[in-house]
Structure 1
Amino acid sequence: MNFTDAPSLENQFVRLEQLCQTHQDDLAAAVAAEELWRTWYTHVPSPEAMTGEIERRLALHAEGRMVPWAIIDQASARAVGMTTYLNLEPANRRLEIGSTWIGSTAQGTGINAAAKMLLLQRAFEELGCIAVEFRTHWHNHQSRRAIERLGAKQDGVLRNHTIFENGTVRDTVVFSIVEAEWPTVKFGLAERLDPRNR
């Protein structure tokens, strides 16, 4: 298995398709709701910047540095967000799941958990990863809670890690799931996604 491959991944809630420009209109509409891109501690593209962001992610994919997917809501068949594998380290059998955003109307619907289930299954069961990492902004409490709900554990905080375009400095919170934890994490995600528990 190649870490840079971008196969379609699917379950009853979401389909992850390799990102392409045909997703642009859906993705622009997804960020337009509640002006998601204005959140100061995230890197969500504006509707006008969506084409450029898709091009940027595809260029990084061509360089072997990122694997970008569009997140498709199975119920509507529309793209509602983006996600990626990045910081690919095949030699160390690890990668990061990140650069993820989901439109506000799709948040809290189980789509994030369903997408993470697919990405984690591929990482641990197909690519043979021994660790999967997640990173987020210290001030992005919603993202931090979502990562913790997956079953990831906090590794630490990288202080003064990234300078944002708005001049603020990001402290980056690092989480991970390791290979031995995956069976329990998978069980927990399956329980969350079971329609009987929703």
Structure 2
Amino acid sequence: MTATTQDIFLKGNRVNLEPLSREHIPAMEIAVTDGDLWELWFTGVPRPEDVSAYVDKALAMQAEGTAIAFAVRDKCSGDIVGCTRICNWERPHNRLEIGYTWYAKRCWQTGINSESKLLLMTYAFETLGVIAVEFRTHWHNHRSRQAISRLGARQDGVLRNHRITQDGIRRDTVVFSILDSEWAAVKHDLEFRLQRHA
């Protein structure tokens, strides 16, 4: 991972995505308590006491060159309200995934997720030049599946028995993607809806 990818700031009207660091841990420990997000059994949101290890793992993935991790700052309040990540960056195949995303419950359905994804996809398609951006979520995470669909992503399929969770439950993973050929229309629609939401 080069210094340039470690220092990426993505700035929007409502949110800023700033390089994740250990300095964000106290704010993330507070954000994750808004809605007790770790209690959603079908997500991978850390408990407050596990945020430090969660950040360390994200930074380790970044050091390996397969991820770029961000803290999400709400520009209205100035608070860190969640995090997100470019991950599973397959450079030989020119594709990546956007995931490890969670927000404090007060941010749900506020446009924060849509603008964060717009910033990430703009960077992925227009700076990194990828040919596909992928999204994955748990079969039972209906809120996430609906949010991904609203972004303009299309469902590619379901990976059955794809993962075994810490609880020993077999997870089916729903895979969505947006292709570079679809990006112009997806971007236009997202920008239009964000303007109307504002």
TM-score in same-fold range (> 0.5): yes
Alignment of 1:39 onto 2:51:
no
- Residues 14, 146 of structure 1: alpha-carbon distance in 2 compared, 3 angstrom cutoff: same
Paired residues for 1:130-169 under 5 Å: 130-169=131-170
Structure 1: runs of 5 or more not aligned: none
- Residues 3, 175 of structure 1: alpha-carbon distance in 2 compared, 3 angstrom cutoff: farther
Paired residues for 1:106-117 under 5 Å: 106-117=107-118
CA distance in 2, matches of 1:2, 1:190: 30
Structure 2: runs of 5 or more not aligned: none
TM superposition outliers: structure 1 runs of 4+ over 2 Å: 1-6
Shift of 1:3: 9.6
Percent identity between matched residues is 48
- Residues 137, 3 of structure 1: alpha-carbon distance in 2 compared, 3 angstrom cutoff: farther
Shift of 1:34: 2.1
- Assess if the C-alpha contact under 8 Å between 2:17 and 2:73 holds in 1: yes
Shift of 1:4: 5.0
CA distance in 1, matches of 2:53, 2:76: 27
Task: Give the alignment's Cα RMSD to 1 decimal.
Answer: 1.6
Q: What is residue 14 of structure 2 aligned with on the other side?
A: 13
CA distance in 2, matches of 1:148, 1:139: 15
Alignment of 1:56 onto 2:70:
no
Shift of 1:63: 1.4
> How many residue pairs are counted as aligned between the two chains?
197
With the length of structure 2 as denominator, give the TM-score of the two structures: 0.95
Mean alpha-carbon deviation: is it higher for 169-178 or for 98-107?
Answer: 98-107
- Assess if the C-alpha contact under 8 Å between 1:9 and 1:15 holds in 2: yes
With the length of structure 1 as denominator, give the TM-score of the two structures: 0.95
